[in-house]
Copies of this chain bind each other. A is one copy, B any other.
Amino acid sequence: MQIRAQDLAQLASPADVIFDALREGITDGTLAEGEVLRQDNIARMFNVSRIPVREALTRLEEQGLVTTQRYRGAVVASLSLDEIEEIFEFRSLIEPEVVRHSVVVASQESLDLARDYADRFGHEEDPKNWGHLNRQLHYMLYRDCGRPYFLQVVDSALNRIERYQRLQLTLTSGMDRARREHQAIVEACIARDADQAAELTRAHILGAGRSLLDFLERVRKG
């Protein structure tokens, strides 16, 4: 029997590559909200026809990262303050439970990595990386929870607000606070204190959401 590479690792299709690239651009803010995504432009950028581009856009729309109108194309989705608030409320319900379940069974490796990320947090130079670092840190605290569906749903929610959340991290106050809270959460996890870790996670999310919304209200209103 012949060894087929795709049996070991599903080969990435052009549509996958394009999907990942666009998602990255949307979550890290490279693509501005409301920006129109022209199938032709994207296709040329990746040296493919529009077919895989369409597939990528379809998937992005299903994920809520772009909105499309028939015959009018896709634009990078933008969230109202209410929608952002709702997603933080959602996270504040789910992520504490994820942490609670993780803490009990978390591997030493996950905890070590979480501590590393928490230490590096705030000492990173490039603000471009803060969003990534934040995501990786949270992922380390979540990944052992044994609930793939929860992780997937949280991931999807994070994708929607990451572009906004990084705005808040840019504020030094937001960054300081996030670093302190991350440290505390990691401590609780290392101490295997599930209730404490869950409650700190809840407070962290609600606090970050509140401060982000305050900031956005100032920016958008006056």
Give the distance in Å from the alpha carbon of A149 to the alpha carbon of B153 in the complex: 12
Counting CB contacts under 8 A, is A139 at the interface?
no
Interface residue SS majority, chain A = helix
Contact B59 A6 (CB under 8 A): no
Give the distance in Å from the alpha carbon of A157 to the alpha carbon of B149 in the complex: 10
Contacts of A162-176 to chain B: CB distance below 8 A:
none
Residues of the B chain whose Cβ atoms lie less than 8 Å from the Cβ of A70: 6, 10-11, 13
Which of A33-41, A86-94, A108-116 interfaces with chain B?
A86-94
Contact B59 A153 (CB under 8 A): no
**Total interface residues on A, using CB and 8 Å?**
25
Residues of the B chain whose Cβ atoms lie less than 8 Å from the Cβ of A204: none
Give the distance in Å from the alpha carbon of A59 to the alpha carbon of B57 in the complex: 10
Of all chain B residues, which has the CB nearest A10?
B70
Indicate with 1 or 0, residue by residue over A21-59, a CB within 8 angstroms of chain B CB atoms.
Answer: 000000000000000000000000000000000110011
Give the distance in Å from the alpha carbon of A79 to the alpha carbon of B88 in the complex: 28
Residues of the B chain whose Cβ atoms lie less than 8 Å from the Cβ of A93: 93-94, 97
Counting CB contacts under 8 A, is A127 at the interface?
no
Contact B10 A87 (CB under 8 A): no
Indicate with 1 or 0, residue by residue over A90-128, a CB within 8 angstroms of chain B CB atoms.
Answer: 100110010000000000000000000000000000000
Contact A149 B90 (CB under 8 A): yes
Partner of A54, one of B55, B83, B147, B148: B55
Give the distance in Å from the alpha carbon of A54 to the alpha carbon of B86 in the complex: 32
Residues of A at the B interface (CB closer than 8 Å) are: 6, 10-11, 13, 54-55, 58-59, 62-63, 69-70, 83, 86-87, 89-90, 93-94, 97, 147-150, 153
Given contacts A10-B70, A90-B153, A153-B153, 5 further A-B contacts (CB under 8 A): A58-B62, A62-B62, A86-B147, A90-B150, A93-B94
Give 23 pairs: A residue, B residue, CB < 8 Å, sorted on A: A6-B70, A10-B69, A10-B70, A11-B70, A13-B70, A54-B55, A55-B55, A58-B58, A59-B62, A62-B63, A83-B148, A83-B149, A86-B147, A86-B150, A87-B149, A90-B94, A90-B149, A90-B150, A93-B93, A93-B94, A93-B97, A94-B94, A153-B153
